[in-house]
Amino acid sequence: MASKRSACRKFGKIPDPLESIEQRALLVRSHWVLLDTDAAKFYQVQPRTLRAAVSKNIDRFAKEFIFRLSKQDAQELPKTGVKRPTPIYAFTMTGIAMLSSVLNSKKAAQTSINIIRYRIVNRRRFVELGGYDGLPDSSRGLS
């Protein structure tokens, strides 16, 4: 078993889902999503491994779980300086949780648990704010 230190060297800093999902989530096509590269970091796999697993099991991902970014979507992303020869997958939070079913590992199971915890925490925050009544109209997509 690789140590956490060697995993950090191999995959970069391992993010804590409860804190950094909010930092890494992007609003694309009116959906909060994580890109495939960020999802791969959470699951501690190479992005190409994640994309291959998704391609082999695409029937598990409903259209509201995952979508590929168009060239226009990709141009609107923050610039990373890295050119991507492959299309970029964007995963909704449900899609991120679904990844654990195609990435069969202990880390995948633990990440899925952490995402569920994250969603519970956010749901509590939402309710404490008064649900939709506690949000400004612009947060609800209303003008």
pLDDT at 140 over 70: no
* Residue with the larger pLDDT of the pair 112 and 3: 112
Q: Running DSSP on this structure, what letter comes out for residue 43?
A: H
Query: In this predicted structure, what is the pLDDT of residue 96?
Result: 86
Helix (H, G, I), strand (E, B) or coil at 110: helix
| Comparison of pLDDT for 4 and 99, the residue scoring more | 99
Give the predicted TM-score (pTM) of the model.
0.67
Listed residue (120, 100, 124) closest to 18, CA to CA: 120
